[in-house]
Chains A and B, each alone.
Chain A
């Protein structure tokens, strides 16, 4: 099972086994990782599952779909490496993915 590492804004590291097919957001919510609110439940409608993807992983992820960038406009402190974690689907290729959680979601 792929391992996903979530790093909180306080630099706490949580490495979790996440089933293939779940999103990085779902992996966080199901394992009570603090800092990912996911208010809309994965509908790409709220920008409260915002994460920063570490540089070496960012280009390896499937590209953003239409709409994700629009929602990121509303995220708290978006950066070049911002993604919505509900749009990143976990697969074997993502084993070892690291994401940083912003200090706030809004």
Chain B
């Protein structure tokens, strides 16, 4: 069991700056995120898109903002637990016991949910029967490419993941690439490579087609696809791969006994605390009268939630407000003073 003063759920900009604030006031913290990288929506949804409303930063991309926030955390030692989703939050006598999808258990007086719009999950096929084959013959990511050797694989999607895997698997498998339109949004070099492999007969390309059903008894045997003109085709498939990007799902957060309002968590505006003592929500996931879904609001909310954490983590100490410009204890924590 990992003990910490505060556990932050979500490694987006708000989670990162909240960690900064916690460490600055002398609390330790750890961060869990379902994505395999730091940055949240900034890195997953708009790494290249410029943002113009971060105070004192006239223009920066989602990726640059993330890099700067990580840099700002350099003086501190913060443990990240990536590719892990928080599944359960329960109270023991004093602390919150938090369990992740990888079986890690945290014990902490403070849980700060900086979860954006929920955790990122792969978008799945609309075809209901795909569920029966999921993780057996239907996948939304590749863990072990060896299983596809010598098999017939149907790959759906038009972005880099779909194209990269079509190119890679065409070496040792029979690849059918299916996409809803003729244009691909992947890197031009990869698109060219795919077209070359189509010419060589290494990849079968079906454009303007989408899946309508999967067939097989236990084992997947074939899939039906249909084009815009309602023409149907049945193609053999041992495996199906779908690459439709990620979608945000509130997920297990809905089961933690918090007051929810649509897909957001209600908080007060003094501590950004939820209806559960010691659980806070900051950033896009929280709601209160006047809430703005801006990154700068997340920074403010995180700063206040961090101060609230102090009371529960250090019940016998008094929190003193200090400035980084003048406080020697803060400067010490920042590594600027012996």
Q: Which residues of A contact B (CB under 8 A)?
A: 37, 39-41, 43, 45-48, 69-70, 73-74, 76-78, 80, 104-106
How many residue pairs, one in A and one in B, have C-beta atoms under 8 Å apart?
51
Tell me whether B41 and A40 are in contact (CB under 8 A).
yes
Question: Using a CB–CB distance below 8 Å, which chain B residues touch chain A?
Answer: 41, 45-46, 49, 117, 123, 126, 157-159, 179-181, 183, 185, 210, 228, 244-245, 247-248, 263, 293
Contacts of B41 in A (CB 8 A): 40, 45
Known: A43-B46, A43-B49. Is A78-B248 also a contact (CB below 8 A)? no
Complex Cα gap A74–B122 (Å): 10
Cα separation A76 to B180 with both chains bound (whole Å):
12
CA gap between A80 and B247 in the complex, in Å = 22
Looking at chain B's contact residues, is the secondary structure mostly helix, strand, loop, or mixed? loop
Known: A43-B45, A43-B46, A48-B247. A74 touches B123 (CB 8 A): yes
Contacts of B46 in A (CB 8 A): 43, 45
Q: From residue B207, how far is it (CB to closest CB) to chain A in Å?
A: 12
Q: How far is the CA of A13 from the CA of B224 in the complex (A)?
A: 33
A36, B117: Cα distance in complex, Å? 14
List of B residues within 8 angstroms of A48 by Cβ:
247-248
Residue of B with least CB distance to A29: B262
Of the candidates A37, A41, A43, A76, the one whose C-beta lies within 8 Å of that of B126 is A76
In the complex, chain B residues whose CB is within 8 Å of the CB of A40 = 41, 45, 117
Which residue of A has the minimal Cβ distance to B157?
A: A73
Contact B126 A104 (CB under 8 A): yes
Query: Are A73 and B49 neighbours in the complex by a CB distance under 8 Å?
Result: no
- Contact (Cβ within 8 A) A73 B244: yes
Residue of B at shortest CB range from A66?
B185
How many whole Å from A38's CB to the nearest CB in chain B? 10
On whether the beta carbons of A74 and B245 are closer than 8 Å, the reply is yes
Chain A to chain B: the 5 pairs with minimum beta-carbon distance, closest first: A106-B247, A45-B45, A70-B185, A74-B245, A39-B117
**Closest partner residue, chain B, to A38 (CB atom):** B117
Nearest chain A residue, comparing its CB with the CB of B126: A77
For the complex formed, measure the closest distance between the CB of A29 and the CB atoms of chain B, giving whole angstroms: 10
CB distance from B87 to the nearest CB of A (A): 21
Determine the distance from Cα of A70 to Cα of B186 in the docked complex, in whole angstroms. 10
Contact B123 A76 (CB under 8 A): yes
